[in-house]
Amino acid sequence: MIYERFAAGLVVALEIYAALGLAFALAFVCFGVQKIDPEAKGTKLGFRLLIIPGVIAFWPMLLRRWAKGTTEPPPEKEPHR
């Protein structure tokens, strides 16, 4: 019984995360993507529809970059660089 409540709570949390992500994605795809990625300026509807699933998944990171006005990706910290 406790596992059922835990699973139900997890599903609700994921639904809320996805709903917030979808709301953010609609605004981001229309207005924000060209602000943080100069290469996205002038892109067509197909590209914007294609990035919606990724925007839904990574919306907190993209919201932070959009709010800061960051236009360059963060530097890599991998040893091969």
Q: Is residue 63's pLDDT more than 90?
A: yes
CB 38 within 8 A of CB 70: no
CB 65 within 8 A of CB 36: yes
Q: Is residue 36 one of the residues assigned to a domain?
A: yes
Q: What does the pLDDT read at residue 81?
A: 57
Q: How many domains does the chain have?
A: 1
Q: Is residue 79 one of the residues assigned to a domain?
A: no
Q: Is residue 49's pLDDT more than 80?
A: yes
Q: Is residue 64 one of the residues assigned to a domain?
A: yes
List Cβ neighbours of 58 (8 Å cut-off, separation of 6 or more): none
Q: Residue 64 — very low, low, confident or very high, per pLDDT cuts 50/70/90?
A: very high
| CA dist., res. 19 & res. 17, Å (int) | 6
Q: Is residue 43 one of the residues assigned to a domain?
A: yes
Q: What does the pLDDT read at residue 72?
A: 75
- Where in the sequence is the domain holding 8, given as residue range(s)? 2-68
Q: Is residue 14 one of the residues assigned to a domain?
A: yes
